[in-house]
A and B are shown apart, each in its own frame.
Chain A
Amino acid sequence: MITKASMSRRVFLKGSAALVVGIGLSGSLGKAQGGEALSRSLNPGDLEAWLAVLPDNTVTVYSGKVELGTGVDTALRQIVAEELYLPFSAITLVQGDTALTPNQGYTAGSQTIQVGGSQLRKAAATARQALLQLAAKKLGVSLDQLVTKGGYISPQNSASPRVSYGALLGGQQFHYAVDPNVKLKDPSQYTLVGTSVPRVDIPAKASGKFTYVQDVRVPGMLHGRVIRPPTTGATTINATLEGVDESSVAQIPGGVKVVRKGNFLGVVAETEWAAIQAAQQLKVRWSVEKTLPQMGTLYNYLQGLKTSDQTELHTGDVEAALAASPQSLHATYQWPYQIHDSIGPSCAVADVRGDQVVCWSPTQGVYPLRGALAQLLGVPERNVRVIYVEGSGCYGHNGADDVTADAALLSQAVGRPVRVQWMRWDEHGWAPKGPAMVMKLRGAIDARGNVAAWDNAVWTPTHSTRPSGEARNLLAGNLIAQQVPTGGPVGGDRNAPVYYRFANNRLVLHWIPIASSPLRPSALRSLGGVQNTFANESFMDELAALAKADPLQFRLNHLDDPRAVAVLQASAERFGWKSGPRKASSVSDIAIGQGIAFARYEGRNAYVAAAAEVEVELKSGAIRVRRIVVAHDCGLVINPDGLRNQIEGNVVQALGRTLKEEVRFDSQGVQSTDWSSYPIITFPEVPTVEVVLIDRPHEPAVGAGEATTVVIPGAIGNAVFDATGVRLRTVPFTPQQFLAQASP
C-alpha cells in the first residue's frame, strides 16, 4: 500500500498540481553507493522529491545520479517512461543539484542503472500505482479493471472515457513515499526499455549547442588560474610557499589579483588570457623537499611499506596444497599510476558572496562536495548550493572537485563569481591518480591438471579519497591545512577474489596508508578491478600453460556458473577460438596470437569475457591489437546501443591503459604533464571491436560502465604470450617492456 507522506521541502513545484513521489531518507537509498561512503547523515522521516507527475502528462525526475557521458540521462528516462506507460519525450531529468535533487551519493562504480535505476523504477511504479488508485475512485471501477496506455487510464471492457494522469490530479498536490514492494511492470511487456533510444544529449553536442561546465558564464564573472608547488601530484605536498612577487605580473593588463592562503595560490583577472599569463609569469619561491621514491624502484617500494594487512579469504589449506603439488608457479604483476584521460581539463564556476555559496561543478557527488566546500570556506553547509554541470568524461575522481574548491576560494577572496579552468598540466599533474598496485601470485596444478592452490597477495592504497565532506580531500584544502586526504580502504580489493572455484584459495590484502602512497590515489574506472583482473587472468593463463591445457577449456573447468560459461563460450565462438595444441603463426618478423580473459565484475555483477588477437613485431617489440571480441551479460539491457557504446569505449580506453599509459615521476613530483609525456590511444591503434550482448530480461540490470575494462589487459597479455611465449607482467606493454622480457 502507498503511504502518504508529508510535503517535501525540496519540491519546487510551488503549489502547482503534481503527484510527487519521494524518498524517505531513512530507507535503502543511503546504503549501497558503489562502496564509497556517503558523507551526509540521513534524517529519518525526511522526504525528498524524486519524481513529479505534472498536469500536462509529463514527468520531471529529480536525479541525484548524473550524466557523465555514459548515456544514463537517456537510460533513466527510458526506465521512468516505461514504468509509467508514457512516451520517452514526456520525461525531463533534472540532475545533481543540492537544492533540487535527493542525495544519491556519488555517480560512480557503475551503480547508476544498477542501484539508481532500480530505485527510480520503483518510484515510477509507485506513481503509477497511486494514479491507478485515483482513477479507480474517479471512474468507480476496481483497480484490476483498469488499463494504462500512453499516460491515460481507462476501464477495461467499458465505454467510459479514458482519463489522463494530468486530469486525475484535479489541480491538487499528492505526496507519496516510494513503496519498496510496489508491483513492477513485467519486463515481457516492455516497449521502451530494451530498445536503442537515441541519446538525448548527442544532437546538442554535435552542433555546438551543448553547455558543458566549461561553457558556464555568469554575470560579473572573473577568470581564475591556480599556481601549484613543484611537488606535482604528490600525496604529501612537501613544499612551502616562501614568497610571491606580485610586481612580476603588474604589467599584465586586466586587473590581475593574486590570492594566497597558505600554500594555495591563485590569480584572478578580467579576461581568461590575462589569468593564464599571470599564472605563468608570477614569480614564486617555494622550498621543496624531494621525498618521492625513484620511479624505477616503485614496486619494491610499495611492497616495503608498512601496510595494514587483512586476510580477505582463505579456504582449504593453501600452503599444504602448494607443498604437495608436483607443479607450482609464482609471478608478480605490476600496474602503474594512471590518469583519467579527460580531454577537457576540469573547470568550475563559483559565486561566493558573504556566507552564501553557489557552485557549478562537474563533480560526481554534489552532496559530498557540498560538505567539503562548507568546511573549506567556513560557511554553514546549508548555505552552499552545488549544481552539477557535465564536463569532459571523468571516469572517476579527476580534478572536478578540486577545481570547484579553487573557484570557490578565489571567489570568496575577491567577492565576485570566478571561473577556474584548469590548464592541461593541472589536470595531468594534480588530479588524483588511479593507484599503482602490485599483485603477487602463487599457484599449483594437481595431477589431473586442475588448480590445486591459488594464493594472492595484493598491495594497494585506497581507491577513494573523494571529498566525502572533508576539506582536506580537496587539493586546496590539503594545500592550506597541509593534511593529506582521508578515506577508508576502498576498491583495492575489487575483483581480487577470483570467480573460479578452487579448493585451496587465499587472498591477502596489504593496504598502503594514504600518506605513504607517493602520488595521490583515488578512483579511476573499475578501481582495483583492472589491476586485479590483469593479474588473475594472466596467472590463470600461466597455470593453464603449466598444465598444458587450452586456456579457454582450463577456465571452463573451474567455473560452475552457467552465465560465466556462457560469456566465455560466446566470445570464443564469435572470435573463432582455436583450441587444442597449436603453433602460433608467425610471418617473418611478426608473431600472431590469441588470448582470452574472463571476470564477473565485483564477483556479483556483470559477466564479461574478451578474446583478443594481437600481432607482435619481434624486432621492435611493438604490439598491435588487431581484434577484440567481447561477450557481455549485465542482466536486463536497458538500451542496447548505449550499452554497446559503453563496451566499445571500455575496450578502447583499456587498450590504451594496457599498451601505453603510465604516469612518470621523479623524486619531486609528476613529470607526465601533457599528452606527449603521457600518450593515450590514437585512431590508427584502435582494433576492430565486436560485441556479443547476452540479454537476460528477467535478471536485474547491473552496471556496465566499467566491467569490460577489467578483462582487456589480461586478454592482450595472454595473446602476446600465445604469439611469442613472452609473458608480460608489468603494464604498460611498451615495446621496451616486451624486449626486456623477451631477452632477460
Chain B
Amino acid sequence: MAQLTLKVNGKAEVLEVEATSMLLYALRDNLGLHGPRFGCGLSQCGACTVNVGGVAVRSCVTPVSAGVGKEILTLEGLSSNGKLHPLQEAFIAEQAAQCGYCLNGMIMQAKPFLEHKPNPSEEEIRQELSNNLCGCGTHLRIVRAVQRAAKAMAGGVS
C-alpha cells in the first residue's frame, strides 16, 4: 500500500492505495464517488471518464499515480452549491437517459470538448463521442443534450 494525495473536485484527499492500482478504483472505492463508473476496464467504453488537468481521461486505465499533483474532476464536481452544470441541466431537459450508466462518460467527455469548441456541429459531437458506448440506444438524445449545453455554455438560453 502506498499513501498518496489526490486533488479531487477541489479537495485534497489522502489515500491508501496499491501503487499499481488504477485511478477509477481510488475514486470509487476509497472516495466513495458514484460518478465514474466501471464499464470495461479496457479503455473501450468511456463509462469511467474523468477530467484530469482539464482533459478527458479513462480512469480505468490511468494509474492512480498519474493523478498526483493534477486537478481531478468527476461528475459530482461539476455542480457547485446545488447548481448543476449546463451539461447536467441539458441531459435532464432532454431526458437523455435510459439506464443512464453511460451518462458520466458522455458528460465528462463533452465538457472539455465544449470548452474548447463552443459551437460544434452535430457531426463533430458525434465524432467526439464516437468512442463512448451506450447500450440503451440513447444516442440521439445525448447528442441533443450536448447541443443544448453548447448553446447554454456559449451564453444562449438553455
Whether, in the assembled complex, A207 has its beta carbon less than 8 Å from a beta carbon of chain B, the answer is yes
Stretch in A235-243, A552-560, A650-658 touching the partner: A650-658
Q: How far is A676 from B44 in the complex, measured between Cα atoms in Å?
A: 7
Contact of A680 among B21, B74, B75, B133 (CB under 8 A): B133
A407 to chain B, nearest CB (A): 15
Q: How far is A451 from B8 in the complex, measured between Cα atoms in Å?
A: 67
Whether, in the assembled complex, A725 has its beta carbon less than 8 Å from a beta carbon of chain B, the answer is no
A645 — which chain B residues lie within 8 A by C-beta? 95, 98, 138, 141
Query: Is the pair B140, A648 in contact by a Cβ cutoff of 8 Å?
Result: yes
| Given A201-B100, A653-B137: A344 touches B22 (CB 8 Å cut-off) | no
Which B17-47 residues have C-beta < 8 A from chain A? 17-18, 20-22, 25, 28-29, 32-35, 37-42, 44-45, 47
Query: Is the pair A674, B44 in contact by a Cβ cutoff of 8 Å?
Result: yes
As a 0/1 sequence over residues 74 to 117 of chain B, the CB contacts with chain A under 8 angstroms (1 = contact) are: 11101100001000100110011111111110010000000000
Whether, in the assembled complex, A649 has its beta carbon less than 8 Å from a beta carbon of chain B, the answer is yes
A2 to chain B, nearest CB (A): 38
Q: Which residue of B lies closest to A422 (CB)?
A: B38
Query: Is the pair B42, A343 in contact by a Cβ cutoff of 8 Å?
Result: no
Contact of A271 among B29, B44, B97, B125 (CB under 8 A): B29
Query: Is the pair B40, A675 in contact by a Cβ cutoff of 8 Å?
Result: yes
A13 to chain B, nearest CB (A): 31
Q: How far is A8 from B74 in the complex, measured between Cα atoms in Å?
A: 45
Query: Is the pair A393, B101 in contact by a Cβ cutoff of 8 Å?
Result: yes
Q: How far is A272 from B41 in the complex, measured between Cα atoms in Å?
A: 12
Whether, in the assembled complex, B57 has its beta carbon less than 8 Å from a beta carbon of chain A, the answer is no
Whether, in the assembled complex, A69 has its beta carbon less than 8 Å from a beta carbon of chain B, the answer is yes
Whether, in the assembled complex, A70 has its beta carbon less than 8 Å from a beta carbon of chain B, the answer is yes
Whether, in the assembled complex, B134 has its beta carbon less than 8 Å from a beta carbon of chain A, the answer is yes
A682 — which chain B residues lie within 8 A by C-beta? 130-131, 133
Whether, in the assembled complex, B132 has its beta carbon less than 8 Å from a beta carbon of chain A, the answer is yes
Query: Is the pair A202, B100 in contact by a Cβ cutoff of 8 Å?
Result: yes
A399 to chain B, nearest CB (A): 13
**Counting chain B CB atoms within 10 Å of each CB, which of A71, A390, A393, A651 scores highest?**
A393
Whether, in the assembled complex, B1 has its beta carbon less than 8 Å from a beta carbon of chain A, the answer is yes
Query: Is the pair B47, A343 in contact by a Cβ cutoff of 8 Å?
Result: yes
A634 to chain B, nearest CB (A): 17
B20 — which chain A residues lie within 8 A by C-beta? 273, 277
Contact of B38 among A203, A254, A274, A421 (CB under 8 A): A421
A655 — which chain B residues lie within 8 A by C-beta? 137
A205 — which chain B residues lie within 8 A by C-beta? 97, 100, 103
Q: How far is A574 from B136 in the complex, measured between Cα atoms in Å?
A: 25
Whether, in the assembled complex, A1 has its beta carbon less than 8 Å from a beta carbon of chain B, the answer is no
Contact of B45 among A271, A421, A675 (CB under 8 A): A675
Q: How far is A638 from B151 in the complex, measured between Cα atoms in Å?
A: 31
Query: Is the pair A271, B95 in contact by a Cβ cutoff of 8 Å?
Result: no
A296 to chain B, nearest CB (A): 27
Whether, in the assembled complex, A467 has its beta carbon less than 8 Å from a beta carbon of chain B, the answer is no
Query: Is the pair A683, B143 in contact by a Cβ cutoff of 8 Å?
Result: yes
Q: Which residue of B lies closest to A347 (CB)?
A: B38
Contact of A684 among B91, B104, B126 (CB under 8 A): B126
Query: Is the pair A674, B137 in contact by a Cβ cutoff of 8 Å?
Result: no
B137 to chain A, nearest CB (A): 3
Query: Is the pair A208, B137 in contact by a Cβ cutoff of 8 Å?
Result: no
As a 0/1 sequence over residues 405 to 428 of chain A, the CB contacts with chain B under 8 angstroms (1 = contact) are: 000000000000000010110000
Q: Which residue of A lies closest to B20 (CB)?
A: A273
Query: Is the pair B101, A212 in contact by a Cβ cutoff of 8 Å?
Result: yes
A215 — which chain B residues lie within 8 A by C-beta? 28, 34
B7 to chain A, nearest CB (A): 17
Q: Which residue of B lies closest to A652 (CB)?
A: B137
Contact of A207 among B39, B40, B79, B139 (CB under 8 A): B79
Contact of B139 among A198, A650, A675, A683 (CB under 8 A): A683
B37 — which chain A residues lie within 8 A by C-beta? 212, 214, 344
B21 — which chain A residues lie within 8 A by C-beta? 271, 273
Which A248-296 residues have C-beta < 8 A from chain B? 253-254, 271-274, 276-277
A395 — which chain B residues lie within 8 A by C-beta? 135-136
| Given A69-B100, A689-B140: A207 touches B18 (CB 8 Å cut-off) | no
As a 0/1 sequence over residues 204 to 235 of chain A, the CB contacts with chain B under 8 angstroms (1 = contact) are: 01111111101101000001000000000000
| Given A206-B107, A208-B75, A649-B136: A684 touches B127 (CB 8 Å cut-off) | yes
Q: How far is A654 from B135 in the complex, measured between Cα atoms in Å?
A: 10
B149 to chain A, nearest CB (A): 11
Query: Is the pair A675, B42 in contact by a Cβ cutoff of 8 Å?
Result: yes
Whether, in the assembled complex, A82 has its beta carbon less than 8 Å from a beta carbon of chain B, the answer is no
As a 0/1 sequence over residues 389 to 400 of chain A, the CB contacts with chain B under 8 angstroms (1 = contact) are: 011110100000
A341 — which chain B residues lie within 8 A by C-beta? 135-136
Q: How far is A390 from B34 in the complex, measured between Cα atoms in Å?
A: 13
Q: Which residue of B lies closest to A648 (CB)?
A: B140
Query: Is the pair B97, A202 in contact by a Cβ cutoff of 8 Å?
Result: yes
Whether, in the assembled complex, A737 has its beta carbon less than 8 Å from a beta carbon of chain B, the answer is no
Query: Is the pair A206, B91 in contact by a Cβ cutoff of 8 Å?
Result: yes
Q: How far is A84 from B152 in the complex, measured between Cα atoms in Å?
A: 39
Q: How far is A736 from B150 in the complex, measured between Cα atoms in Å?
A: 39
Query: Is the pair A393, B140 in contact by a Cβ cutoff of 8 Å?
Result: no
Whether, in the assembled complex, B55 has its beta carbon less than 8 Å from a beta carbon of chain A, the answer is no
Whether, in the assembled complex, A381 has its beta carbon less than 8 Å from a beta carbon of chain B, the answer is no
As a 0/1 sequence over residues 619 to 654 of chain A, the CB contacts with chain B under 8 angstroms (1 = contact) are: 000000000000000000000011001101111111
Q: How far is A68 from B131 in the complex, measured between Cα atoms in Å?
A: 24
Whether, in the assembled complex, A481 has its beta carbon less than 8 Å from a beta carbon of chain B, the answer is no
Whether, in the assembled complex, B61 has its beta carbon less than 8 Å from a beta carbon of chain A, the answer is no
B79 to chain A, nearest CB (A): 6
Q: How far is A646 from B95 in the complex, measured between Cα atoms in Å?
A: 11
Q: How far is A674 from B133 in the complex, measured between Cα atoms in Å?
A: 12
Query: Is the pair A199, B135 in contact by a Cβ cutoff of 8 Å?
Result: no
Q: How far is A345 from B38 in the complex, measured between Cα atoms in Å?
A: 8
A210 — which chain B residues lie within 8 A by C-beta? 34, 100
Query: Is the pair A199, B130 in contact by a Cβ cutoff of 8 Å?
Result: no
Whether, in the assembled complex, B129 has its beta carbon less than 8 Å from a beta carbon of chain A, the answer is yes
- Offer 27 A-B interface pairs, CB within 8 angstroms, sorted by A: A69-B98, A70-B98, A202-B100, A206-B88, A206-B100, A208-B34, A208-B74, A215-B34, A272-B25, A273-B17, A273-B21, A343-B45, A343-B47, A343-B135, A344-B39, A393-B99, A393-B101, A395-B136, A641-B95, A655-B137, A656-B137, A675-B44, A680-B133, A680-B135, A684-B126, A686-B137, A686-B139
Write the residues of chain B forming the contact surface with A, with a CB cutoff of 8 angstroms: 1, 17-18, 20-22, 25, 28-29, 32-35, 37-42, 44-45, 47, 74-76, 78-79, 84, 88, 91-92, 95-104, 107, 125-127, 129-143
Beyond the given A208-B74, A253-B18, A391-B101, could you list 19 further A-B residue pairs with CB under 8 A, ordered by the A residue number? A199-B97, A202-B95, A202-B96, A202-B97, A206-B75, A206-B84, A208-B35, A273-B18, A340-B135, A343-B47, A395-B136, A649-B98, A649-B136, A682-B130, A683-B127, A683-B129, A686-B126, A686-B143, A689-B140
